[in-house]
Amino acid sequence: MRSLSNIFWLGTKELRTLSKDLMMILFIIYSFGISIYTQSTGAGETVNNASIAIVDEDNSSLSRSIAGLFYPPYFQTAKMISAADIDRTMDEGLYTLVVVIPPRFEADVRKGRDVDVQVNVDATAVQQASLGAGYIQSMVTDEVKRYRQETAQTTGLSSDLVIRRAFNPNGTQSWFRAIVGLADQLSMLIIILTGAALLREREHGTIEHLLVMPLTAFEIALAKVWSSGLVIFIGFICSLLFVVEGLLDVPIAGSRGLLLLGTIIYIFATAAIGIFLGTLARTMAQFALLMMMFVMPMMMLSGGMSPIESQPQWVQYVTWFFPSRHYVSFMQAIVYRGAGLDIVWKEFVTVLVMGVTFLAVSLVLFRQSVATLR
């Protein structure tokens, strides 16, 4: 009871301090607002504005109609170039895709011969390259098929593949990016806020003051966890309501309550990491560098930027210890797939256990680090 009251009152002090820190507040607003919005909308669709050029050596009505297939938003309007320019322009990175239509293309199609279309792909832009190539393939084959049907030379069977995307039928890119962005910003902010709160006490010497009072390290740490967590949680709710659901129109399939519960558990676990880093670092500058070393991998390897399944097995074992990996995973499950507690409870428990462990370790370190001060 005494302990709870200590934790509560210490936490209110943190909130008061934060409310005076204009830079931190602006920073939170930027992260949860502008940053998520640009990140989600900036990337466009999966294949977006891909730069493409056509080498038309046939110059027939069919080849021209193929060239006319490529238009925004998936592709930039196709540029006509000559075969000699292919190497140079691709070296300069002007075009990601160059389609070459050979001479006598239309004539061969009319005569019912097999035809070849060459596509040069700049494979250094890995994602655009493979997806763009896939689009070109189906667009060109469909167009040629249509032409053959028009000229009535096809008799073939039709086979059909019906592809349905569950949970995001149109493949709207911003849905995915918004949720990933939200998770990224949440992780970064909570680590910064708790860690900086701890370091501020250390740099101002108030930490010693707290430690000679009848307070335990546990109470001091938990006060920071709940107060920073509350601020971030409110930021999260606002961002979810106004930016994600409001501006970006992302539908939430599952229960919002469940999402918020999961977020609270995650905030607790990440705040514990913040305390942990705040304990390791001696100065704010060190903390910032440490934080970058933790936050950048968390952002890049938790399934938001590239799928977990694609990581080599040993990296997957490492990333399993990132709470953010589980958070991104159950967040997607709840938001898109509408998963219920029966599906996500295991991940909830995993994150919770991680949080408790991190906090326990950092509490031990915290006591030690204060003892070796100076």
Partner 1 sequence: MVASASLIAEVSGATHVYGKVRALDNVSLELPSGRMAGVIGPDGAGKSTLLGLIAGARKIQTGSVAVLGGDMGNARHRRSVCTRIAYMPQGLGKNLYQEISVRENLTFFATLFGLSASERDARTHRLAAATGLLPFLDRPAGKLSGGMKQKLGLCCALIHDPDLLILDEPTTGVDPLSRRQFWNLIGDLRRERPTMSVVVSTAYMDEASHCDWLIVMDHARVLASGTADELRAKTGEQDLEAVFVALQPEQKSASQRLVIPPREPSTEPPVIVAKNLTCRFGSFTAVDRVSFAIERGEIFGFLGSNGSGKTTTMKMLTGLLAPSEGEAEVCGKPVDANDLSVRRRVGFMSQSFSLYGELTVRQNLLLHARLFHLAADHAKHRIAELLVDVGLGDYADAEANSLPLGVRQRLSLAVAIVHDPELLILDEPTSGVDPQARDEFWRLLGDLSRSRNVTIFVSTHFMSEAMRCDRISLMHAGRVLVCDTPQNVIVSKGSVDLEEAFIAYIEDAEASSSTSEAAAVPAETLRNVEAASPGRSAFMPLRRLLAYAKCETLSLRRDPVRLVFAFLGSFIMLLIFGFGVSSDVTNLTYAAFDHDNTPESRNYLANFSSSRYFTEKTPIRSVEEMQQRLKSNDVTLAIEIPPGFGRLVQRGSDWQVSAWIDGANTSRAATIEGYVESAHNLFSEQRDRESSTPASSNPKTNMVFRYRYNPTAESIYSIGPAVPAMLLMMFLAILTAVSVAREKEIGTITNFYATPTTRLEFLIGKQLPYIGVGMINFLIMTATVVFLFEVPLKGDGFTLALGALLYVAAATGYGLFISTFTSSQVAAVFAGAVLSLLPTMQFSGMMQPVSTLEGGARLMGYLWPTSYYMHMSVGAFTKGLGFGDMATDLLALTLFCPAFLLLSALLLRKQEK
Q: Least CB distance from residue 197 to partner 1, whole Å? A: 11
Q: Does 9 bind partner 1 (CB under 8 A)?
A: yes
Name the token pair of 296. Answer: 């950048």
Q: Does 367 bind partner 1 (CB under 8 A)?
A: yes
Among 27, 85, 256, 361, the residue binding partner 1 under the rule CB under 8 A is: 27
Q: Least CB distance from residue 361 to partner 1, whole Å? A: 18
How many other CB atoms are found less than 10 A from the CB of residue 219? 21
Q: Does 60 bind partner 1 (CB under 8 A)?
A: no
Among 25, 57, 69, 216, the residue binding partner 1 under the rule CB under 8 A is: 216
Cα–Cα distance for residue pair 254/339, rounded to 1 Å: 6
Cα–Cα distance for residue pair 37/29, rounded to 1 Å: 12
Sign of CA dihedral 58, 59, 62, 64: positive
Among 319, 350, 362, 369, the residue binding partner 1 under the rule CB under 8 A is: 319
Residue 73: asked if its preceding bond is cis (omega within 30°), the reply is: yes
Q: Does 205 bind partner 1 (CB under 8 A)?
A: yes
Cα–Cα distance for residue pair 179/191, rounded to 1 Å: 19
Select the span of 236-244, 257-265, 306-314, 357-365 touching partner 1 (CB under 8 A). 306-314
- Nearest-Å Rg of the Cα atoms of the chain is 28
Q: Does 71 bind partner 1 (CB under 8 A)?
A: no
How many other CB atoms are found less than 10 A from the CB of residue 304? 23
| Binding residues among 74-93 for partner 1 as defined by CB under 8 A | 76, 90-93
Select the span of 53-61, 225-233, 267-275, 277-285 touching partner 1 (CB under 8 A). 277-285
Select the span of 55-63, 152-160, 231-239, 350-358 touching partner 1 (CB under 8 A). 152-160
Q: Does 162 bind partner 1 (CB under 8 A)?
A: yes
Cα–Cα distance for residue pair 250/163, rounded to 1 Å: 22
Name the token pair of 314. Answer: 């040993």
Q: Least CB distance from residue 240 to partner 1, whole Å? A: 17
Q: Does 293 bind partner 1 (CB under 8 A)?
A: yes
Helix (H) or strand (E) holding 11: helix 2-19
Q: Does 306 bind partner 1 (CB under 8 A)?
A: yes
Binding pattern for the stretch 242-261 against partner 1, x by CB under 8 A and - elsewhere: --------------------
Question: What is the distance of C-alpha 132 from the center of its chain?
Answer: 21
Among 25, 29, 69, 211, the residue binding partner 1 under the rule CB under 8 A is: 211
Among 41, 104, 233, 245, the residue binding partner 1 under the rule CB under 8 A is: 41
User: How many residues appear in the chain?
Assistant: 374
Among 282, 357, 360, 364, the residue binding partner 1 under the rule CB under 8 A is: 282
Q: Least CB distance from residue 228 to partner 1, whole Å? A: 15
Measured from the CB atom, is 51 or 228 closer to partner 1? Answer: 51
Give CA angle at 184 (234, 262), nearest 5°: 55
Cα–Cα distance for residue pair 320/173, rounded to 1 Å: 26
Among 264, 300, 349, 356, the residue binding partner 1 under the rule CB under 8 A is: 300
Nearest residue to 260 via CA among 275, 281, 279, 239: 239
Cα–Cα distance for residue pair 236/239, rounded to 1 Å: 5
